[in-house]
Amino acid sequence: MSKKVFVKTFGCQMNVYDSDKITDALKTIGYEKSENLNSANCFVLNTCHIRDKAKEKVYHEIGRVREAFINKSKPIVIVAGCVAQAENTEMLKREPYIDLVIGPQSYHKLNETILEFEKNKLKNEITDFDTIEKFNYLSKIQNKNSKVSSFLTIQEGCDKFCHFCVVPYTRGPEYSRPFHQIIDEAKIMVQNGSKEIILLGQNVNAYNFNEANKEFRLSDLIMSLEEIKGIKRIRYTTSHPRDMTKDLLECYKNSKKLMPFVHLPIQSGSNKILKLMNRKHKVEEYVSTFNYLKEINDKIEFSSDFIIGYPGEEAEDFDNTVKLIDMIKFINSFSFIFSARPGTTASKLKSIDEKISKERLKIIQEKLFGYQKLKNKSFENKYIDVLVENEIQGQNKLFGRNVYMNSVIFEGSKNLVGKIVKVRVTKTNQNTLVGELSEKNKFKAA
Ligand code: SAM
Ligand code: SF4
Ligand code: F3S
């Protein structure tokens, strides 16, 4: 009987990519992926440490696994990801149900660690920063994943040290993968059926790989992926405003496959707060990037991340954030109340009143959701291009995304998966567009 692994993922897209790699790697030592926790012999929890309660969530999750296996033989329990990196040996001490703790830059050692554990049952913790070895190892693992839209990590870690953020500690220093390793991986993804590649990095636009005196940037990757025939759409995330360099902006003129949707976190509309956050950019620079791209193509839209109630945020700073939102009209953003993270500079600062933060978050979210709904409504009765990602189980419906990453649902047959089709939008809400296939596509599908 084959062994089964159940992987549960929290956090950002980079964790999603890592979980797929972990699953592929475990397959080579006999573990098949399972969608059912109850039948698993191995449980991997890929964790996120970005905001508070992350740690508690992990212990809570492990408690649920323990309950599920109360009358069965215990699975191997592995904590991976950013909480594993931050908490390391503490986790093994606090929760005896955990067997292995492994940080994001040590996944190349996961298989050998599991095999050892199977033999000697010795608990282990691995949290070295071996990013180069990790990618060298993982890029050799065969990938049969056939997702229409695939994540591809090109860059790891961060050297920017924003005062609120744990990423430089949990993911380590900035590292750019070799250019040709990435292109080769993209080609394999295309062979397996991918039509959209989403390039990933905590600072994806800081990508910088040097070889034989040539510097490769994110713009070089985009323009090279452009040449691969099977790729229909290219995206990248998450970028930093300071690294929106001219060569990258020019891609919006030169690439036909780069989507007109820019996720560019600003965090605050106040220069005072940006300085306190150590963000290394000003609001004016952000606005100038926005204006430049809008001039290239006025269909380009922006989304962002906001931190509300950062220590020192006064009413005037908050008003500036509101003004910025009214100016840019972001179409889909994330906003969170500041969360003090252990070990970061901002954790030592005096927090602002929680009640004020909550009120401000409510105002901001109403605004952001308002623009989001308005944008979605603007699609009603129009035809949009949708890349079909999958069939919705048990329904004769398809799921896909438009160029702005909106979810689109419509009736259609399975043979349209992987194709770009025209859909007339009939109904919208905050998160989804509902529509019907254009007559031409219906005919094609028949
Ligand atoms: N590298 C990206 C950038 O510089 O914009 C952000 C990556 S971070 C994984 C994703 C988002 O989490 C950030 O943009 C920020 O809004 C949010 N975040 C990070 N630390 C936070 C904290 N301590 N409290 C609240 N939100 C936080
Ligand atoms: Fe965190 Fe992004 Fe700042 Fe790096 S640039 S410290 S990942 S918020
Ligand atoms: Fe979370 Fe780590 Fe990503 S802290 S947001 S999983 S880089």
CA of 84 to the centre of ligand 2 (A): 19
Per-residue pLDDT, 372: 97
Per-residue pLDDT, 439: 77
Question: What confidence tier does 444 reach under pLDDT thresholds 50, 70, 90?
Answer: low
pLDDT one-digit tens code per residue, 133-174 = 999 999 888 777 779 999 999 999 999 999 999 999 999 999
Per-residue pLDDT, 359: 98
Per-residue pLDDT, 393: 86
Q: Homologous superfamily of 133-377 in CATH?
A: tm_1862 like domain (3.80.30.20)
Give residue 308's Cα distance to chain centre. 21
The CATH class of the 3-130 domain is alpha beta
Per-residue pLDDT, 213: 87
Omega before 238 cis (within 30°)?
yes
Per-residue pLDDT, 445: 46
What are residue 160's phi and psi, to 5 degrees?
Answer: -85, -25
Quick one: average pLDDT of 260-271?
98
Distance CA 267, CA 60 (A): 30
Distance CA 396, CA 374 (A): 29
- Judged against a pLDDT cut of 60, whether residue 443 lies above it is answered with no
CA of 50 to the centre of ligand 1 (A): 7
Distance CA 271, CA 437 (A): 46
pLDDT one-digit tens code per residue, 191-233 = 999 999 999 999 999 999 999 889 999 999 999 999 999 999 9
More confident residue, 1 or 155: 155
Per-residue pLDDT, 1: 63
CA of 164 to the centre of ligand 2 (A): 8
Closest residue by CA, ligand 3 atom 1: 48
Per-residue pLDDT, 320: 98
CATH assignment of 383-445, among 2.40.50.140, 3.40.50.620, 3.30.450.40, 3.30.990.10: 2.40.50.140
pLDDT one-digit tens code per residue, 67-84 = 999 989 999 999 999 999
Ligand 1: residues within 6 Å at CB? 12, 50-51, 164-165, 167, 202-203, 238, 240, 265, 267, 305, 307, 336, 338-339, 341
- Judged against a pLDDT cut of 80, whether residue 446 lies above it is answered with no
What is the rounded (10 degree) CA torsion for 196, 197, 198, 204? Answer: -150
Per-residue pLDDT, 212: 85
Q: The tokens of 244 are what? A: 């929106």
Say if CB 367 and CB 375 are below 8 A apart. no
Q: Which of 82, 305, 307, 334 to mutate to test the pocket of ligand 3 (most atoms within 8 A of CB)?
A: 82
- Judged against a pLDDT cut of 90, whether residue 54 lies above it is answered with no
Whole-model pTM: value is 0.96
Per-residue pLDDT, 426: 97
Q: What is the mean pLDDT of the chain?
A: 95
Lowest-confidence region among 49-53, 318-322, 381-385: 49-53
Kindly list the domain boundaries of the chain, sorted by start residue. 3-130, 133-377, 383-445
Say if CB 165 and CB 30 are below 8 A apart. no
pLDDT one-digit tens code per residue, 81-132 = 999 999 999 999 999 999 999 999 999 999 999 999 999 999 999 999 999 9
Distance CA 201, CA 238 (A): 6
Per-residue pLDDT, 378: 97
Q: Is 242 in the pocket of ligand 2 (CB under 6 A)?
A: no
pLDDT one-digit tens code per residue, 10-24 = 999 999 999 999 999
% pLDDT > 90, the chain: 92
